[in-house]
Structure 1
Amino acid sequence: MKKQFLILITLLISTITFACSCDIPKPILEFESVDYVFKGKVVSKVYAIDSLNYTVTFEVFKHYKKGEKPKILEFTFTSEGEYTGEFTSCDWHVNKDEKWLVYAYYSNKKLIFSYYCSNSRRIENWNISKNEQRILDYGNSFKLENYIYQFENGFNITKPIANIDSIFKNGKIKNYINPYTRLELFIDKKGNLNFVTAGLNYEFKTDSIYNLKTEFKIKLKKQVTEFEQDAMELIRKMPKWEIKRHIETNLPVSHIRHLIIQFNKEKKEWRYEL
């Protein structure tokens, strides 16, 4: 019986982790996208007459984002499962007297914030890490278009303007020894392919405040194979790519795009994964 109980608990924890897991955006990118970033205390929590939702009132002690700086902000959330009768693995709630760091934004003219998939969170004794505090302090000076993006959320996924399938159909047919590689492409904010390199033959410079890439350089760390050379030759036939843009602001940015490329020896055909 005890073993069955432990198995059940393990499954429940796994379900919760899977259901609510997501990539939390880098603080500066969430800072850029939202309407308010503030530190405040919950001074009231009032349930609706039917108890299906509640409204919390924050007394704001510190606004970080430039613009309007209201002293009081209110948010309405769906009530806890004990009131609604609906329990999910992603339930979270806000209580009176809690202190929070909040990244808030308007959606359908309603001011909201999230807990999962956000940097919003409860903070004990007003403690914020030194790194995040620096980001908050310098956030209004941030220029999104000055950095290079790779895996960050909040941007469109780009494709080449040319027909990639047609280009790969005309790839060289050889008896490659190791017909597999991952290529890294540097594409500027105008959609121009500037560099392409294989494996880890590159390096970045990273900003010390926002932890974002500022410079991309090719640096040969291992010998490029014949297959990799031919793969890069194919990629150079796609000099123009869709422009990568920040979804919230529509600003164009430079970015790193990677492709996995392989050659099927039996079918004698090139394959790729964007």
Structure 2
Amino acid sequence: MKKRILTILTILISAITFACSCDIPKSILEFESAEYVFEGKVISKIYANDSLTYTVTFEISKHYKEGDNPATIEFTFKSEGKYTGEWTSCDWSVNKDENWLVYAAYWKEKLTFGYFCSNSKPLGRRTISKNEQKILDNGNSFKLENYIYQFEYDFNYTKPVSDIDSVLKTGKIKDYEKPFTWLKLFVDKNGNLNSVTTHTGYQLKNDSIFNLPTEFEIKLRKPLTEFEKDAIELVKKIPKWEIKKHKKTNIPVPYIRHLSIEYDKEKKEWKYEL
């Protein structure tokens, strides 16, 4: 019986741990996409007549983002499970008298904010770290185009403009010993391919305030194999890529693209995967 209870508890804990797992965006990018970033206290919480939603009002003590600075802001959320009859491990709520740091943005024309997948947080349970405070204090001077991006969800997914299939058909036909590699491509804000190297053959220099890369430098940790050399030269023939832009501001930015290249010995053809 004890083993059964332990198994059930393990399953429940695992469900709670993984159900809401997600990458919290870098705080400066959430700052950039937000309409408001502020610290405030919840001065009221009012449930709708059917109790299925509630509206909270924040009294703002400090605005971080330049622009319109209202003294109060309201948000409406789905009510807790005891009112709706629906419970998930992702449930969270906002309560009266709580102090919060909020990154608020418009979603489907509604001003709102999140918790599990956001840098928004009730102050007390989660505190503002020194690094985040530095970002908040300097957020208005941030310039998107001065940094290099990779996997951030605030941007569009890019593909090559050049015909990659036609380029691969010009690849060398050889009996390579290890015919596979992961490559890193550095593309500028105009969509021009600047550099190509292996997935370990580069170094990034990060900004000290926002912790984002500002420089991409090829720095090989080991000699290139014959296949890697030929693969790099082949990929360099794909000069044009789609421009990467920030979804809210439409600002173009430089970025790193990841590309796997292999040579099929049996079919004698080059293949790739983005």
Tell me what 2:224 maps to.
Answer: 224
Aligned to 1:124: 124
In the other structure, the counterpart of 2:248 is 248
Which residue in 1 is equivalent to 2:180?
180
- Count of residue correspondences: 274
Counterpart of 1:192 in structure 2 is: 192
Q: Counterpart in 2 of 1:67?
A: 67
SS in 1 for 2:254: strand
Which blocks of at least 5 consecutive residues in structure 2 are unaligned? none
Residue deviations 1:44-98, cap 9 Å, x none? 2111111111111111111000011111111111000110011122111111111
Counterpart CA distance in 2 for 1:156 and 1:233 is 27
Name the % identity: 67
What residue identity is the alignment partner of 2:119? N
Three-state SS of the structure 2 residue aligned to 1:148 is coil
State the distance in 2 between where 1:160 and 1:28 align.
Answer: 28
Q: Any idea what SS the aligned residue of 2:91 has?
A: coil
Partner Cα separation in structure 2 for residue 254 and residue 118 of structure 1: 24
Q: Is the 8 A contact 1:99 1:126 kept in 2?
A: no
Which SS does the other structure have where 1:42 is aligned? strand
Secondary structure in 2 matching 1:153:
coil
- Identify the residue that residue 95 of structure 1 maps to in structure 2: 95
In the TM superposition, residue 140 of structure 1 has moved relative to its aligned partner by 0.4
Separation (CA, whole Å) in 2 of partners of 1:180 and 1:81: 51
Farther off after superposition, 28-37 or 114-123: 114-123
TM-score (norm 2): 0.95
What RMSD in Å do the two structures reach over aligned CA positions?
Answer: 1.6
Greater CA drift, 200-209 or 121-130: 121-130
Question: Contact (CA 8 Å) 1:179, 1:262: kept in 2 or not?
Answer: yes
The answer for the alignment partner of 1:142 in structure 2 is: 142
* Alignment partners' CA distance in 2, 1:125 and 1:236: 50
Q: 1:19 to 1:169 in 2, by over 3 A?
A: farther
Kindly report structure 1 stretches of 4+ aligned residues shifted beyond 4 Å. Answer: none
Unpaired stretches in structure 1, ≥5 consecutive residues:
none
Q: Any residues of structure 2 matched to 1:1-274 within 5 Å, and which?
A: 1-124=1-124, 127-274=127-274
Partners of 1:54 and 1:78 within 8 A in 2: yes
Amino acid at match of 1:59: E
1:111 alignment partner, SS class: strand
Q: Matched residues in 1 for 2:245 and 2:92: separation?
A: 32
SS of the residue 1:272 aligns to: strand
Question: Could you list the per-position Cα deviations for residues 180-227 of structure 1 after superposition, in whole angstroms to 9, with x for gaps in the alignment?
Answer: 111111100000001111232211111000000111111222101110
- Give, in whole Å, the separation in 1 of the partners of 2:207 and 2:121: 25
Task: Tell me by how many angstroms 1:125 deviates.
Answer: 8.5
Q: How far apart, in 2, do the equivalents of 1:110 and 1:236 lie? A: 44
Q: Is the 8 A contact 1:183 1:259 kept in 2?
A: yes
When normalised by structure 1's length, the TM-score is 0.95
**Letter aligned with residue 66 of structure 2:** K
CA distance in 2, matches of 1:107, 1:264: 46
